[in-house]
Copies of this chain bind each other. A is one copy, B any other.
Amino acid sequence: MSKARPPTGSRRNPRVSEAILDAAREILTERGAAGFSMEAVAQRAGAGKPTIYRWWPTRADLLMDVYEREKLVSVVPAQSDDPNDDLLRYTVNLWQFWSTHTAGQAFRGLIAEAQSSPAAMTALRDRFLPPRLSTIREMLGRILSQASAEEIDLRARLWLGFSWQALLQDQILMEEVDIGRAIAIITCPSGA
């Protein structure tokens, strides 16, 4: 599986990073989070393990990077004049993205890793999630324009949890209608 690659000498070789990320992606797609090991990635990429560890010190780093690259391709928050629909579209796209691409497996692996590795937990909480939560908060803010930051944050967590429980139970195949109703609930106007 090792592709012939001309060495670049003393500068970082971008082909190598590419090969490694490709390999990681392929393994996640073919064998899921279970088959994902640094060993397997190195093997498939035709790279040495130290090379991987040099650029991605932990498994979490690699998983996050794979996820990011996939993300670029598809999920982008829209900004129409119906913010409610924007959030629905975004959510539906995200679930789609998780179910049809490598990303779902990468994310599942990342969350699993975080349960046993403090470093991965930190990376997840402090690096990976914040920008994503921001996006959600921003969308929710457009819907509930008068709500406090705490209120928004709480609803963002509800949204996050709803998506996670579906992913982590391998139940991300859900009718758009149902997702819409869930969105409706977590955006319901706060009790006076």
Contact = CB atoms under 8 A, between A and B. Distances in A.
Given A125-B169, A157-B166, A164-B168, A185 B182 contact: no
Interface residues of A, number: 48
Nearest to A178: B154
A76 interface: no
Report the copy number of this chain in the oligomer: 4
A162 B158 contact: yes
A33 interface: yes
A29 interface: no
A188 interface: yes
Contacts of A141: none
Nearest to A159: B161
B178 A184 contact: no
Interface string A95-116: 0000000000000110111111
27 contacts: A33-B116, A34-B116, A108-B115, A109-B116, A111-B111, A112-B112, A121-B169, A125-B169, A129-B169, A150-B178, A154-B182, A157-B162, A157-B165, A157-B182, A158-B158, A158-B161, A158-B182, A161-B164, A161-B166, A162-B162, A164-B164, A164-B165, A165-B165, A181-B190, A184-B190, A185-B185, A188-B188
B112 A116 contact: yes
A113 B168 CA distance: 10
Contacts of A109: 115-116
A185 to B, nearest CB: 6
